Amino acid sequence: MRPSKADLAPASAAAGRANAWTPGPDGKVVGFVDYPGGLPALFGRGIEGFEARNVRIERPSPLPVGWNASEMLL
């Protein structure tokens, strides 16, 4: 999901998704983390006991610049 202009500049009384894209002093969205090595198909940090069944991941070939060669980073 990409933020819209309304997400990046929410009304003062906004709640929920509207305030989830609040930029910090550095201009980056608060709470976002960079994906180590680029964008994977599935990313998780601090997860224990993760299980996935019947998951199908399709990605373009060649991978675009900035995408991780690994499909999953857990």
User: Is the predicted pLDDT of residue 73 greater than 90, yes or no?
Assistant: no
How many whole angstroms separate alpha carbon 17 and alpha carbon 71?
27
Q: Tokens in use for 72?
A: 């999953």
pLDDT of 58 reads 94
pLDDT of 19 reads 63
pTM over 0.85: no
60: helix, strand or coil? coil
pLDDT tens by residue, 26-64: 888 777 777 889 989 998 888 899 898 999 999 999 999
